[in-house]
Amino acid sequence: MSLFPNMAVGPTVRAVHDEFHGDLLEVSMGPQHPSTHGVFRMVVTLDGEQIVKLKPVFGYLHRNHEKIAESTSYLGSMPYTDRLDYLCSMSTNWAYALAVEKLSGQAVPDRAQYLRIVMAELTRLVNHSCLVGFLFNDLGTSFTPLLYAFREREKILDLFESLSGSRMMCNYQRFGGCRVDPSPEWLAAAQALVDNFPRFLDEYETMLTGNEIMLARTQGVGRLDPAHAVNAGLTGPVLRACGVDYDLRKVDGYGFYPRFDFRVPLGAHGDTYDRYMMRILEMRESVKILQQAFRDLPAGPVMDPKAKLRGFRPKAGEAYGRLEGPKGELGFYLISDGSPNPWRYRVRPPSLINLTLLEEMCLGHTVADAVVILGSIDIVLGEVDR
Amino acid sequence: MSEPNPTSAAGLPSEALAKEGNISAAEREDLRRHGILLTSLEELYGWGRSNSIWPLQFGLACCAIEMIAAATARFDIARFGAEIFRPSPRQADLMIVSGTVTKKMAPQVVRLWNQMPEPKYCIAMGACAISGGPFKQGYNVLKGIDRFIPVDIYIPGCPPRPEALLHGLTQLQEKIRSEKISGPQAARHLQPDAASEFPVPDYGAHDLQPPSNPDIFTAPVLPRKA
């Protein structure tokens, strides 16, 4: 605490005198605050109710993921990646597996490629539906949309659990494939879930999309300009809501995504409402991808027989593997010196980089809007602080 | 007269009353069938408190998502009277430490605990809150919140399932019901000398200062075979 006396969590409200603006008020929101999605802190300077300055403070969940990974074997880091973005363990696993496969030149069988897409898109459904629930919590609905979202989440988590043994921390991907092959019953259950998912989306949208309060609170709030967003390195639905067509599933075409027919929804205004709609539309596209994956899923092994998991030592070199996670570009950068542990292990967390423009989005709005804007960016503190 | 519901107020554990020698549990049960409820102030007090625990709405990491899941429709923590998550520590009875406590966060957690009014309870949810869990080797991770605040219930898991949280909650309810209201065995909040606030550690340059509270925490000694 003594390092930053101004940031001490003492009295949370104190007046700042400024000769041009009169009295400003500095409010510290967080790290214990119901709307900060974890242990995030915003130091907000207010002129009346308008935000004139916002300073994000993070690091309250810095649990040394990268440093621990440098003293762990490559495979040993896989369970840690589950806990990085704890809402979407399957896609985080895949991003790490991609990086290691790039490093070692490991091939992946076709069936595993399809299964990875199935898991990643199911994860996207979980993440986006929960995010919309949390966003509405921030808007003041007090839990109701979240109950609907968690109802669907539980169904998907049941599938994950029956496949991998764990609800949230699936630890499912491996270098060179997937850990277990789903049974035909599992696939039938997943197919049924996906077929029913649009009904949930329709229900959700009937309830939320045209809601008058929702429109008044989100349209034109937290507007972001596309050039600014690109310069700051924003990715994911937050960037696409500004109208920038950048989706790694199309740009990189990693995995078997080029074989799938889907569209990338784009926003026009870059405001909170567009960011909300991005999530709804992406879920509809995910359903399409999933249905194609179930239709085309080939038979065969789920692990490359030549893949080596224990005593895995890639050659010296470096690799950057990235994918379009539900929150944006999620990348792992690895440097190997030929030993069983990575020499350097670096995560590119989309949540953290999307947070960099929080102040720009919030300036001129009220505190209540800042809460909603933060909710629409979709952060997970495990990933922000690592 | 219809039979009273066996799970009603008087159906609570009656060992405490039976031990006093005034009336046996069987006699009490007999009376209850005739619509006469007998209880003691202590039991009534414990029963009321145990069924209206208000947790602090306070999520730290992954376990917080499971805590939210426990509050939603499938697991429905409201069945146990603990659905009112209060964002303010002043209104909360129970702190669920749900996730990794880092050294940067630990002073805030202790401060929140100090701000909660008595009677208050603490659940350490998940491996990280118990011992640091998978992140134990991290330089910034506190190796268990029981170094600074007294923990009533430990729930293992990474993360624990919502059912495990509910089990922990029912265990806490048992504990609250068995608390005495007077005498040397009285509950902590009824003892005038028992500590309610604990010193907040300082986020020092290298570690928390002090690294643990010696009044409530002693490092376990592991005997090694020669």
Of the candidates B57, B71, B159, the beta carbon closest to that of A34 is on B57
pLDDT (mean) for B3-22:
49
Question: Which backbone phi and psi does B215 adopt, to 5 degrees?
Answer: -70, -30
Instruction: Quote the pLDDT of residue B40.
Output: 83
How many Cα atoms are found within 13 Å in the side-chain-facing hemisphere of A200? 28
Nearest chain A alpha carbon to B89: A32
pLDDT classification of B196: cutoffs 50, 70, 90:
confident
**CB distance A38–B61 less than 8 Å?**
yes
pLDDT (mean) for A3-31:
57
pLDDT classification of B166: cutoffs 50, 70, 90:
very high
Pick the more confident residue, A30 or B109.
B109
At residue B197, does pLDDT exceed 70?
yes
Distance CA A247, CA A241 (A): 12
At residue B54, does pLDDT exceed 80?
yes
Question: Which backbone phi and psi does A347 adopt, to 5 degrees?
Answer: -110, 135
DSSP H or E segment with residue B98: strand B94-98
Instruction: Quote the pLDDT of residue A93.
Output: 92
Distance CA A362, CA A124 (A): 26
Name which of A46-50, A280-284, B120-124 the model is least confident about: A46-50
At residue B4, does pLDDT exceed 50?
no
At residue B117, does pLDDT exceed 70?
yes
What pairing do the DSSP bridges indicate for beta strands A13-18 and A22-29?
Answer: antiparallel
**CB distance B73–A151 less than 8 Å?**
yes
Instruction: Quote the pLDDT of residue A16.
Output: 53
DSSP A270: -
User: Sheet holding A317-325: strands in order across?
Assistant: A317-325, A328-336, A342-348
Q: Which of B100, B101, B139, B209 is the best mutation test for A, with the most CBs of A within 10 A?
A: B100
Average pLDDT of chain A, as a whole number:
87
Give tens-digit pLDDT for A80-118.
Answer: 999 988 888 999 999 999 999 998 888 899 999 999 999
In the block, which residue shows the tokens 């414990």? B46
Instruction: Quote the pLDDT of residue A310.
Output: 78
At residue A349, does pLDDT exceed 50?
yes
pLDDT (mean) for A326-330:
91
Task: Give the rounded percent of residues in chain B with a pLDDT score beyond 90.
Answer: 30
Of the candidates A31, A151, A169, the beta carbon closest to that of B158 is on A169
Residue B185's region, left for phi above 0, alpha for psi from -120 to 50, else beta, is alpha
**DSSP strand E in chain A: where?**
13-18, 22-29, 41-47, 50-57, 173-174, 177-178, 317-325, 328-336, 342-348
Distance CA A87, CA A81 (A): 11
At residue A343, does pLDDT exceed 70?
yes
State the complex-level ipTM.
0.84
- Joined tokens for residue B178: 């068995």
pLDDT classification of B3: cutoffs 50, 70, 90:
very low
Instruction: Quote the pLDDT of residue A21.
Output: 53
At residue B184, does pLDDT exceed 90?
no
- Between positions 53 and 82 of B, the ones with CB within 8 A of A are 57-62, 64-66, 68-69, 71-74
Contacts of B59 in chain A (CB under 8 A): 38-39
CA distances from B37 to B49, B84, B155, B164 (A): 19, 29, 35, 33
Instruction: Quote the pLDDT of residue B27.
Output: 85
Instruction: Quote the pLDDT of residue A114.
Output: 92
Q: Which residues of A touch B (CB under 8 A)?
A: 1-3, 9, 31-34, 38-39, 59-65, 67-68, 71, 79-80, 83, 86-87, 143, 146-147, 150-151, 153-154, 167-169, 381-382
Give tens-digit pLDDT for A238-297.
Answer: 999 999 999 999 888 888 899 999 999 998 888 899 999 999 999 999 999 999 999 999
- Joined tokens for residue A370: 């800042």
Distance from CA of B165 to the nearest CA of A (A): 14
At residue B2, does pLDDT exceed 80?
no
Contacts of B64 in chain A (CB under 8 A): 38
pLDDT (mean) for A26-36:
81
Task: Give the rounded percent of residues in chain A with a pLDDT score beyond 70.
Answer: 94
Instruction: Quote the pLDDT of residue B9.
Output: 45
Instruction: Quote the pLDDT of residue B21.
Output: 57
pLDDT (mean) for A120-146:
89
At residue A368, does pLDDT exceed 90?
no
Query: Is B8 at the interface with chain A, CB within 8 A?
Result: no
Distance from CA of A382 to the nearest CA of B (A): 7
At residue A300, does pLDDT exceed 90?
no
**Which segments of A7-109 does DSSP mark as H helices, in order?**
65-70, 78-82, 89-104
At residue B123, does pLDDT exceed 90?
yes
Nearest chain B alpha carbon to A1: B203
Instruction: Quote the pLDDT of residue A46.
Output: 84
Distance CA B99, CA A35 (A): 17
Query: Is B208 at the interface with chain A, CB within 8 A?
Result: no
**CB distance B73–A150 less than 8 Å?**
yes
